Amino acid sequence: MTLQRRILILVTAVVLLSAVGVIAVVRASSRADEKDRARPGGPEVTRGEVSLTPADGAPRIVLRNMAWGPHRDELVTVPAASPGGPRTASGVSCLRFHSAAGTGVCLQAEKGGVQEQYRAVVLDAHLKVVSSHPLAGIPTRARVSPGGHLAAWTVFVGGDSYAGTNFSTRTSLLDLRTGRYDASLEDFTIVKDGKAYRNADVNFWGVTFAADEQTFYATLATGGQTYLVRGDLTARTVTTLRENLECPSLSPDGTRLVFKKRVPGLSADAPWRLYALDLATMKETPLAEQRSVDDQVVWKDDRTVVYALPGDFGADLYALPADGTGTPAPLMTSALAPAFLGS
C-alpha cells in the first residue's frame, strides 16, 4: 500500500472517529442540560428558606434532592409528615449530607479546575459555612453526632493510577468543640482480637456516633475481611467487635445497630442485606428488605430505618421497621441522604 493511500485511510478514519466522539459528547451534554429542566410528574421544588432547626418544632426531613430541574442536587426540606409533598430548596448543593442538633455536614463538589475536587463543609442551622475541609477523593458517607458536636465523613481514593483497580477509603473525624481534625482514622490505634494491630491495607468507612459525643462505631477492612469496630475519640483507639459488618448506624436510643452484611451465596453485584444487631446480646436479626442495600441507613425514630436504593431518577428512599418485621415502604423518590430533624 502506498504511503498516500495509508494517509488517506488514516485521515478518513480520524474524521469518522472524531465525528462519533463529538456526537457522543454533544448528546451527553444535551442530556445533562435536560436534567436541569423539571420533569413532568416529578416533585415540585421551589427556592425558599431551609433551616436545620425547624422553627415551628414540627419534624422535618432535610435531604439531597435528585429530581430533575434547576434545584437538582441541592439540599431541600419537606415536612416529615408529608415526605411526598412539595420540596423547599436551599441553593446549597451536596453530594452527601447529614445533620443533627443544628449542625450539618455537606460533602460537595467544587466548581472550577480541570479535575473534580471535593470538600466537606460544616454548616450551621442556617446553612452558613462554619468550616471547610478539602477532600482527597470521592464522597461516600457523612455523619453528625446526635449532639451536633462531632462530624465524620468517608471518601474513596483511587491512590495509584498505574494499578487502576486499587481503591481505598479515607475516613476523617472532626471535633467541633476543640477544632481537632483527624484527616485519617488510620492514625488511631487498632485493637484487634485484644492485640494492637497494623497493616498497610487498613481501610475505615461508615462512622456512626453515640450520644455521649465520644464513642463511635465504624467499619474496618483489612486482609479481605470487614469488622465492626467501636472507637473512642479520647483514647484514640478502635476495637474490633465482630466480623462481616459494614456501614453501621446506631439507633437513637443507642441499643441497636442496623448495618449491611455480605451474605454468602448472593450474586457478587448485589451482595448485601440489611441486618440489625442488638448491642446488649450481640444477636443479629435480618430485616425484611429482600434487595441488596448499599447504603448507611438513617434512623427515622427508634423503630424505623430509612435507606436509598437506585431509582429511575437518582435514588429512591424506603422506610422499614428495624426489628425484622413488616415490608419496605417507599418514602420519597429522587432523594438521597435524608436527615430527620426535630423528631
Partner 1 sequence: MYVADSRGTPAPAVTPEPQAVVPGTGPGRRAALAPTVLALGTVSLITDVSSEMVTAVLPLYLVAGLGLTPLGFGLLDGLYNGVSALVRLTGGHLGDRLGRHKALAGIGYGLSALCKPLLLLAHTLPAIGAVLALDRTGKGLRTAPRDALISLAAAPAERGRAFGVHRAMDTAGALIGPLLAFLILRGAADGYDAVFTVSACVAALGVLVLVLFVPGRRTRPAADAAPVSLRASVGLLRGTGLRRITLAALLLGLCTVSDAFVFLLLQRAGHFPDRWFALLPLGTAAAFLLLALPLGRLADRVGRRRVFLGGHLALLAAYGLLLTGGTHPALPYAVLLLHGTFYAATDGVLMAAAAAVVPAEHRGGGLALVQTGQAVARFAASLGFGAAWTVWGARPALAVAAGLLAVALAGCARLYSADADEETVAEAV
Place of cell 479481605: 224
Q: Residue 21 or 85: which CB sits closer to partner 1?
A: 21
Read off the C-alpha cell for 219.
467499619
Least separation, in Å, of the C-beta of 109 and partner 1?
Answer: 9
Q: How far is the CB of 126 from partner 1 (least distance, A)?
A: 28
* Nearest-approach distance from CB 91 to partner 1, in angstroms: 18
d(CA 191, CA 203): 14
Q: Of the two residues 225 and 325, which places its CB atom closer to partner 1 in the complex?
A: 225
In whole angstroms, the minimum distance from the beta carbon of 19 to partner 1 comes to 9
Q: Give the C-alpha separation, 307 to 331, whole Å.
A: 9
Chain position carrying cell 451536633: 148
- Smallest distance, Å, CB 125 to partner 1? 28
Which residues are at the interface with partner 1 (CB under 8 A)?
1, 6, 9-10, 13-14, 17-18, 20-21, 24-25, 27-29, 31-32, 35, 95, 114-118, 134-138, 140, 156-170, 183, 197-201, 203, 205, 221, 224, 267-269, 294, 310, 315
> Could you give the count of Cα atoms lying within 13 Å of 135 in the half-sphere of its Cβ?
32
Is 23 or 130 the residue whose CB approaches partner 1 more closely? 23
With b for 16 or more beta-carbon neighbours within 10 A and e for fewer, the 174-206 pattern comes to: bbbeeeeebeebbebebbbeeeebeeeebbbbb
The string of DSSP letters for 73-86 reads TEEEEEETT-TTS-
Q: How far is the CB of 140 from partner 1 (least distance, A)?
A: 6
DSSP H or E run through 26: helix 3-34
* Gap between the Cα atoms of 281 and 220, Å rounded: 21
Residue 17 is which amino acid?
L
Nearest to 32 by CA among 90, 63, 76, 72: 72
All three cell numbers of 193, joined, read 482480637
User: Minimum distance between the CB of residue 230 and partner 1, rounded to whole angstroms?
Assistant: 21
Q: Residue 40 or 224: which CB sits closer to partner 1? A: 224
Question: Toward partner 1, which CB reaches closer, 44 or 181?
Answer: 181
Residue (111 or 177) nearer to partner 1, CB: 111
Nearer to partner 1, 305 or 315 (CB): 315
